[in-house]
Amino acid sequence: MNQSLLPFRPANLRPESVEKLAFIASDTEEAQEAMQILAAAYGSVPADKADVIVALGGDGLMLQTLHTHMGRGKPIYGMNRGSVGFLMNEFREDGLRDRLMKADITTIRPLVMTATDRAGEKHTALAINEVSLLRQTSQAARLQVAVDGRLRLEELVCDGILVATPAGSTAYNLSAHGPILPITAQLLALTPISAFRPRRWRGALLPHQARVDIEILNPDKRPVSASADHTEIRHVAKVSVHEAEDIEGVIMFDSDHGWDERILTEMFRY
């Protein structure tokens, strides 16, 4: 499915009610048990009928849930029952509706990736965290990078490159030594992965409305794959990335530990 063609519905930032809740969970025993407990305590309705969707698991489940309901204005509140929980709130059984009423709400706009493979076929996918390009073999990738139609790097020899949103700046981008971005920053991070030439280039901060076009040089000899979060396209020839203008997701955090606080905490972690 071409997710960029989802209909746009403006996000309802504050649900009028939190009476109707939908619970979804990852496949782990811990998450499934939590879902049964919460559904018995608060009742459960199908996701399309819910005021709020409660996701029980780790960050992977949260990303999957955001992708599924992107553009539908459905607030999603996560509770950590997984191994990684940067996007999740602390799990507690009691006081859930009160927490939901007091929660901070943030809207996020994904990146739209259009990847053209070597056969000329175009593939479109959305990325909440990042779009990443990676070499497929032992040979380094050779990439050419343009921003808003202007060539910026004639040749980047590297393991790869990524374009990260503020939401994704603490994920793969951070591991690649990219900058952490406040969630409200109207910026994108363009970060190289193990750059060999030019060795001193450390990336760039771009306006959020920028369009990044990446051409793979010699793609037959040096194949490259492109991924938008969990959607991977192999043997790409060129990739275009820009922020979606008409699609958004809605995520909820406990008011005493909102996303801004999480970002700041990560900035001072050592």
Asked if 222 and 137 count as a contact pair (C-beta separation under 8 A), the reply is yes
DSSP string, 50-83: -SEEEEEE-HHHHHHHHHHHTTTT-EEEEEE-SS
Contact residues for 78 (Cβ-Cβ < 8 A; gap 6+) = 54, 55, 56, 57, 61, 62, 65, 85, 87, 88, 89, 251
Q: Does residue 59 carry a catalytic annotation?
A: yes
CA 26 to chain centre: 18
Which candidate in 59, 117, 213, 229 is catalytic? 59
- The reply to whether 167 sits in an annotated binding site is yes
- The reply to whether 173 sits in an annotated binding site is yes
Q: How many CB atoms lie within 10 A of CB 200?
A: 6
- The reply to whether 185 sits in an annotated binding site is no
- The reply to whether 59 sits in an annotated binding site is yes
Residues linked to residue 104 through DSSP beta bridges, in sequence order: 253
- The reply to whether 172 sits in an annotated binding site is yes
- The reply to whether 60 sits in an annotated binding site is yes
- The reply to whether 218 sits in an annotated binding site is no
- The reply to whether 171 sits in an annotated binding site is yes
Q: Which residues are catalytic?
A: 59
Binding-site residues, please? 59-60, 129-130, 159, 167, 170-175
Binding-site residues for NAD(+), please? 59-60, 129-130, 159, 167, 170-175
